[in-house]
Amino acid sequence: MTKKIKVLIVDDSAVVRQVLSSELAKAHDIEVVGTAIDPYVARDKIVALQPDVITLDMEMPRMDGLTFLAKLMQYHPLPVIVVSSLTAAGSESAMRALELGAVDVMCKPGSAYSVADLSETLADKIRAAAASRYCRRSVAHVAPVAAGVAQPASASPAFTPTIAPPVATGLRQTTHKILAIGASTGGTEAIREVLTHLPADTPGTVIVQHMPEHFTEAFAKRLNDLCAMEVREARHGDLVTPGVALLAPGNHHMVLIRSGARYSVEIRQGPPVHHQRPSVDVLFQSVARHAGLNAVGVILTGMGADGAAGLLAMKNSGALTLAQNEQSCVVFGMPKEAIRLGAAGQVVPLNRMAPAILDCLAAKAKTA
């Protein structure tokens, strides 16, 4: 029998504890071993129950979630999923929690997302957290690569998905380049690590990070404070220009559009792809179609397969493609699938990703 993932729910709301417990009870591979009304009770139950994953509220009596999380990561690190309200303060607290080492963030039940919506994603987040390398979040924990050379992708594809060929405009070389990045679990810190090492004149950048609505705005603002580039949540019709990174808004797909030599983005609804909206595949497929060999594609840490087929489409259209290596991923799911398809031109550790991106962009500039 497969061992179940043991979960401890820490929340001062009896309603939230009940909802999360009942939804997780539907998963055959997950067991809620206990609940706690505050961090002091949680501390004792962590010792007694030895959970694999914790869901953690940010606003609790006696000790707030951020203070508890900092202590937990210092003395007894565990995979933590933050449960936060869809307020400006809640989003900011969630971003800080991810910086402290939380694996993922989810919305509180009833804060604009129904219980049905919650049940579709909660179990997956638990599974990703249980599989995560949460103690390797920092670049300092990543083993260096000899001579700083990117590792070639050696995996051969097990199958080849049907990919629509790029339109002719995407095949024409232009002086305007596009950098496209996709990530999921663990991606907030991975994206931060990459973007903070890119210069202010980096070509126009488009990013999908799996994250709920409203949280993406807080994430973009946090990145903007740290990066040489301007980083903001994308708006419908925004131009993709050098020195600007556009982050897909939560609960909306983002696609790249080209008119002449100008690139812009469209923000759309539409069904989730790989259970995700925004979807990395939706973005990458549009980049393959409209930017083609003018693009560089990067897939970072995350659970599932979103982005793998899209990265292959980019590679087939002439783009240079990169995937994060297993040792530096929080969850080696999305990059693994991309490598398996043969979509990754290079497999690179996180602490070498920014230089590898700049090398690829420089190579594209030389052939323009």
The torsion angles phi and psi of 247, rounded to 5 degrees, stand at -100, 130
pLDDT at 308 > cutoff 80: yes
- Distance between CA atoms of 87 and 19, rounded to whole angstroms? 20
Q: Which of 184, 264, 279, 317 is catalytic?
A: 184
pLDDT band of residue 1 (cuts 50, 70, 90) is low
pLDDT at 144 > cutoff 50: no
What pTM was computed for the model? Answer: 0.86
Q: Which of 210, 214, 252, 253 is catalytic?
A: 210
- Distance between CA atoms of 258 and 235, rounded to whole angstroms? 16
- Distance between CA atoms of 24 and 125, rounded to whole angstroms? 11
pLDDT band of residue 84 (cuts 50, 70, 90) is confident
Interval 157-205: pLDDT, tens: 332 333 334 444 444 455 589 999 999 999 999 999 999 999 999 999 9
pLDDT: which is higher, 84 or 273:
273
pLDDT band of residue 66 (cuts 50, 70, 90) is very high
User: Could you tell me how many residues make up the chain?
Assistant: 368
pLDDT: which is higher, 154 or 311:
311
* Domain ranges across the chain: 5-135, 152-366
Strand blocks (E) in the chain: 5-10, 30-36, 53-57, 80-84, 104-107, 151-152, 178-183, 204-209, 230-233, 244-247, 253-259, 262-268, 295-299, 320-324, 346-348
* pLDDT value of position 157: 32
Residue range 347-363: mean pLDDT, rounded: 97
Contact 335, 324 (CB under 8 A): yes
Q: Read off the tokens for 364.
A: 């594209």
* Active site (annotated) includes residue 28: no
* pLDDT value of position 322: 98
* pLDDT value of position 8: 98
The DSSP secondary-structure symbol of 142 reads S
pLDDT at 360 > cutoff 80: yes
pLDDT band of residue 152 (cuts 50, 70, 90) is very low
pLDDT at 139 > cutoff 90: no
pLDDT band of residue 67 (cuts 50, 70, 90) is very high
- The second-level CATH assignment, the architecture, of 5-135 is 3-Layer(aba) Sandwich (3.40)
pLDDT at 235 > cutoff 50: yes
* Percentage, residues of the chain above pLDDT 90: 73
* pLDDT value of position 90: 81
* Active site (annotated) includes residue 259: no
* pLDDT value of position 185: 95
pLDDT at 298 > cutoff 70: yes
pLDDT at 115 > cutoff 80: no
One fold for 5-135 and 152-366: yes
* pLDDT value of position 36: 97
Judged on CB neighbours under 10 Å (0-12, 13-18, 19+), 145 is: middle
HEC letters along 114-133: CHHHHHHHHHHHHHHHHCCC
- Distance between CA atoms of 311 and 29, rounded to whole angstroms? 31
Q: Which of 57, 104, 238, 306 is catalytic?
A: 306
- Distance between CA atoms of 10 and 42, rounded to whole angstroms? 6
Please give the mean pLDDT across all residues of the chain: 87
* pLDDT value of position 122: 87
pLDDT band of residue 227 (cuts 50, 70, 90) is very high
- Rounded to a whole number of angstroms, the CA Rg of the chain reads 20
Q: Does the structural domain 152-366 have CATH classification 3.40.50.180? A: yes
* Active site (annotated) includes residue 184: yes
